[in-house]
Amino acid sequence: MTEDATGSALADQTSLREIIGPKMPLAIEKEMPRLDAHCRHFITLSPFLCLGTMGADGKADVSPRGDPPGFVKVLDDRTILIPDRPGNRRVDSMSNILSNPSVGLLFLVPGMEETLRLNGRASLTTDPALLSDMAVDGKVPKLAIKVEIGEVFFHCGKALKRSRLWDPATRIDRKTFPSMGQLIHDQRKTGLSVEALEKFVEDNYRSELY
């Protein structure tokens, strides 16, 4: 059950539809069970995606994934492969996949306002034959996320138009928001100085991207 802006509870799909209205026919018909040439092309252009997962306990998570354009490999029209690069080793997404394989992906391409949505079932692979083709700077990922596609479709550009995401004029001055070292210092009480944390972050970015 959710609440609208006035605090009134929305208890069912009928109530929701009465407020939002019927689905647009084009929005229903755009779902495809496999990649076509346009989807494949978009994926080769995309350097960034968001991966949505949910654990067995119902806890949801969204994780960013980024690499040079084309980092997601299309194995066939129903299967893609996402390399796992070094991170903070929380493995939230991958732990969720082991207990609940349902995933949702959102691909973005800088400069394009349309996005690509893909839903399916994921698994983890350590197959050397698959991983060897995903090396960067000579470093092969330890594993990859394999996604069997259930549905895929393009999403219109309204959200990115509203946000002006790619408009250089909307970029903030980075100095107006605390650095990562400052955030760690303020939020985690490590006992380390901001300067020491800044150096840790910089060293980590420089030496552990791949």
pTM of the model: 0.90
Residue ranges per structural domain of the chain: 24-163, 172-207
Asked if 64 and 50 touch (Cβ cutoff 8 Å), the reply is yes
Q: What is the pLDDT of residue 185?
A: 97
- What does the CA dihedral 32, 28, 71, 209 come to, rounded to 10 degrees? -150
Confidence of residue 1 (pLDDT cuts 50, 70, 90): low
Alpha carbon distance 69, 40 (integer Å): 12
The model's pLDDT over 77-89, given as tens digits with 9 standing for 90+, comes to: 999 999 999 988 9
Sign of CA dihedral 159, 163, 167, 172: negative
pLDDT at 45: 98
| Spatial distance between the Cα atoms of 17 and 151, rounded to a whole number of angstroms | 23
- For residue 51, what are the β-bridge partners? 63, 105
* 189 — pLDDT class (breaks 50, 70, 90): confident
- Higher per-residue confidence, 5 vs 91: 91
| Choice between 41 and 9, residue whose per-residue pLDDT is larger | 41
CATH assignment, 24-163: 2.30.110.10
**Paired tokens of 59:** 């806890």
Crossing angle (nearest 10°) for helices 194-207 and 180-188: 120
Percent of the residues in the chain that have a pLDDT greater than 70, as a whole number: 97
